[in-house]
């Protein structure tokens, strides 16, 4: 199949113009309107994809930062730093909300869902480290309320009142929340392995319990959820298995292995974990 | 503070509510697909040699059937919150494109013009702009128009068989204009673009028909009458 013929064939078009100038035909006029409508939509979509990519990158960086909590003395410092980063991410999500003002969110959902999922992953990871609980959808949404000082048109000169702050909200969809939480389990597994490596004996057991709860939750949802959930459930099982194995090893051999050797035992185990999973 | 279990059953509530809506929509869409097939069957008969004389009556019959379409669409509108149109869009996208095609085909057969998006919306009793409610997405409209283009290339062939040598010329002009229209669009690599890529084959086919007619002097086109 040849490629789409571009502007390169004016001959045929010239032939088609038998009945006078085409440019004034109603069909062409209508298509000019469609062109504009489609371009506007595609532009918005592209802008959203770009913001979403930024949200993804910044969220990933926050997650990397949060993984340091297992190896630094002052957890609170890391958490504070991650707060700052997450504030930045939220600002970007505010831009998404701005783009979506007056639109049907679902129409552009595909453009920004990766970013939102990554944000859910980051924010729930931070929440877990801080509170040892699962962040709820409401709690996430509650932080995605943005105050936008309405910009008054320049022509509206001095006498126009400052419109006051305008409230803009972004609602994370339940499916995005679920997928983000599914990704969270991969991070928790990593955290478990690395905390063992640091001689932390309690965290792995807490984590295995938490992961089991999440796993049960996903099993409860089963195939009622979106298609991607069932795919992630498989990875979740693997993560859970690794954490459970780690706890098992700790229980069985913990008393035998000197603390300073634990790191070696587990770092060799961690190496067996495929490098690319849990990253996405 | 919600426990993990509570959180998941809360989400599950969302998901099953969503599934119920989809179930309802699917039922109505099935009814719409049924009636769309009926309309297509009525219109298919124009390809028969005998059907050419019956075009007006077939169109009238099709327009009658569109009444049922309107009832079903009215029913569909009640199945979900209107601001969530795109959440469930995939369910009726296909059938709405078919219906657009059918409406466009009827209008073409009646007046030999391209149906406007407003006319289609009117025939289906829906809106053009999203803000006003259940509407016809511009891409679905365009997809429907492209389906009609391939139907017309078939009609060109069959009208020659039926002895109507002028119709292919008119169809050719019409399709060429449509082609120029589509060239104005900057399509992304999406299903619409894929379908548009098929338009050139329809154009080609009609050109071949016109060529066959003109070298045999069968086409009575005023300007091209000189070629032998």
Q: Which residues of A253-274 are buried (b: 16+ CB within 10 A; e: fewer)?
A: eeeebeeeebeebbeebbeebe
Least confident of A69-78, B11-20, B179-188: A69-78
Structure tokens at B148: 């009609």
B47 and B158 Cβ atoms separated by less than 8 Å: yes
Global ipTM: 0.90
- Does residue A263 sit in helix, strand or coil? helix
Percentage of residues of chain B with pLDDT beyond 70: 96
Give which of B2, B4, B169 to mutate to test A binding, by max A Cβ within 10 Å: B4
Q: Which alpha helices (DSSP H) does chain B contain, by range?
A: 4-44, 55-77, 89-111, 117-124, 138-161, 167-183, 191-197, 199-215
Minimum-distance CB partner of A106 among B87, B113, B176: B87
Half-sphere exposure of A211 (CA within 13 A, CB side): 30
- Cβ separation A12–B85 shorter than 8 A: no
Query: Which chain A positions have a beta carbon within 8 Å of B203's beta carbon?
Result: 12
Q: Is the dihedral of CA A36, A41, A44, A49 positive or negative?
A: negative
Q: What are phi and psi of A168, to 5 degrees?
A: -125, 130
**pLDDT value at position B10?**
92
Q: What is the mean pLDDT of residues B62-87?
A: 96
CA closest to A29 among chain B residues? B181
Tell the burial category of A109 from Cβ atoms under 10 Å away from its Cβ (0-12, 13-18, 19+): middle
User: In whole angstroms, what is the distance from residue A276 CA to residue A105 CA?
Assistant: 31
User: In whole angstroms, what is the distance from residue A86 CA to residue A147 CA?
Assistant: 17
User: Could you say which residues of chain A have pLDDT below 70?
Assistant: 1-23, 149-165, 254-280
Domain A173-280, CATH number (from 1.20.58.200, 3.30.420.40, 3.20.20.100, 3.30.2290.10) = 1.20.58.200
- pLDDT of B131 > 90? The answer is no
**pLDDT value at position A276?**
46
Residue B103 pLDDT class (50, 70, 90 cuts): very high
Q: What is the mean pLDDT of residues B117-140?
A: 94
Minimum-distance CB partner of A19 among B83, B173, B179: B173
Residue labelled with tokens 């490098």: A275
Here the contacts of B205-208 (C-beta below 8 Å, separation 24 or greater) are B205/B153, B205/B156, B205/B157, B206/B152, B206/B153, B206/B156, B206/B168, B206/B171, B206/B172, B206/B175, B207/B172
Q: Is the dihedral of CA A257, A260, A266, A268 positive or negative?
A: negative
Which pTM was predicted? 0.84
Tell me the domain boundaries of chain A.
22-172, 173-280
Element spanning A168, H or E: strand A165-169
CATH topology identical between A22-172 and A173-280:
yes
A128 and A188 Cβ atoms separated by less than 8 Å: yes
CA closest to B19 among chain A residues? A224
Provide the 10 A C-beta neighbour count for residue A279. 12
Nearest Cα residue to B45 out of B202, B199, B162, B209: B162
Nearest Cα residue to B139 out of A16, A48, A7, A40: A40
- Does residue A220 sit in helix, strand or coil? helix
Q: What is the mean pLDDT of residues B70-75?
A: 97
**pLDDT value at position A223?**
80
User: In whole angstroms, what is the distance from residue B55 CA to residue B61 CA?
Assistant: 10
Query: Which chain A positions have a beta carbon within 8 Å of B179's beta carbon?
Result: 16
Feature table: binding site of A for Mg(2+): 121, 187
Residue labelled with tokens 């909300």: A97
**pLDDT value at position A15?**
43
User: In whole angstroms, what is the distance from residue B10 CA to residue B48 CA?
Assistant: 58
**B151 annotated as belonging to a binding site for a ligand:** yes
A62-111: per-residue pLDDT in tens?
999 999 988 788 889 999 999 999 999 999 999 999 999 989 999 999 99
**pLDDT value at position A200?**
82
**pLDDT value at position A231?**
86
Q: What is A22-172's CATH topology?
A: Methane Monooxygenase Hydroxylase; Chain G, domain 1 (1.20.58)
Minimum-distance CB partner of B176 among A16, A134, A137: A16
Q: Could you give the domains of chain B? A: 1-136 (1.20.58.190), 139-228 (1.20.58.200)
Minimum-distance CB partner of A174 among B1, B14, B177: B14
Strand partners, A148: A166
- Cβ separation B188–A42 shorter than 8 A: yes
- Cβ separation B200–A19 shorter than 8 A: no
B168 and B206 Cβ atoms separated by less than 8 Å: yes
């Amino acid at each position: 199949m040849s490629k789409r013929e571009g502007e390169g064939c004016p001959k045929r078009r010239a032939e088609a113009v038998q009945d006078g100038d085409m440019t004034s035909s109603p069909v062409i006029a209508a298509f000019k309107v469609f062109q504009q409508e489609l371009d506007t939509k595609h532009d918005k979509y592209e802008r959203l994809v770009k913001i979403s990519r930024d949200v993804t990158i910044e969220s990933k960086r926050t997650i990397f930062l949060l993984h340091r909590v297992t190896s630094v003395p002052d957890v609170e410092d890391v958490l504070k730093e991650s707060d700052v980063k997450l504030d930045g991410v939220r600002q970007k999500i505010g831009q998404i909300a701005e783009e979506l003002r007056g639109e049907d969110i679902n129409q552009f959902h595909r453009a920004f869902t990766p970013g939102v999922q990554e944000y859910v992953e980051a924010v729930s990871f931070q929440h877990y480290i801080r509170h040892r609980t699962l962040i709820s959808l409401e709690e996430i949404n509650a932080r995605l309320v943005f105050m936008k000082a309405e910009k008054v048109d320049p022509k509206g000169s001095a006498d126009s009142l400052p419109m006051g702050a305008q409230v803009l909200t972004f609602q994370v969809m339940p499916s995005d929340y679920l997928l983000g939480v599914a990704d969270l389990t991969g991070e928790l597994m990593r955290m478990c392995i690395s905390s063992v490596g640091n001689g932390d004996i309690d965290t792995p057991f807490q984590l295995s319990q938490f992961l089991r709860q999440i796993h049960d939750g996903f099993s409860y949802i089963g195939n009622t959820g979106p298609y991607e959930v069932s795919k992630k459930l498989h990875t979740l099982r693997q993560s859970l298995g690794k954490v459970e194995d780690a706890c098992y090893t700790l229980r069985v051999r913990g008393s035998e292995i000197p603390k300073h050797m634990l790191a070696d035992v587990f770092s060799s185990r961690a190496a067996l974990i495929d490098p690319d999973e849990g990253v996405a | 503070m919600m426990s993990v279990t509570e959180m998941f059953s809360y989400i599950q509530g969302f998901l099953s509510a969503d599934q119920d809506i989809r179930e309802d929509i699917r039922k109505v869409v099935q009814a719409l697909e049924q009636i769309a097939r009926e309309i297509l069957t009525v219109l298919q008969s124009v390809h028969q040699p005998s059907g050419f004389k019956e075009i007006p009556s077939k169109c009238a019959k099709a327009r009658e059937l569109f009444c049922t379409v309107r009832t079903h669409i009215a029913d569909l509108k009640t199945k979900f919150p209107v601001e969530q149109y795109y959440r469930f869009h995939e369910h009726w996208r296909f059938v709405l494109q078919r219906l657009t095609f059918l409406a466009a085909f009827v209008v073409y057969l009646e007046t030999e013009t391209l149906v406007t998006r407003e006319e289609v919306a009117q025939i289906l009793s829906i809106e053009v702009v999203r803000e006003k409610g259940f509407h016809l997405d511009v891409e679905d409209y365009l997809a429907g128009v492209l389906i009609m283009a391939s139907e017309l290339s078939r009609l060109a062939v069959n009208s020659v068989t039926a002895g109507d040598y002028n119709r292919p010329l008119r169809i050719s002009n019409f399709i060429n204009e449509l082609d120029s229209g589509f060239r104005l669009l900057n399509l992304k690599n999406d299903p619409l673009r894929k379908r548009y890529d098929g338009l050139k084959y329809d154009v080609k086919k009609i050109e071949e028909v016109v060529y066959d007619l003109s070298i045999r002097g069968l086409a009575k086109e005023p300007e091209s009458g000189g070629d032998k």
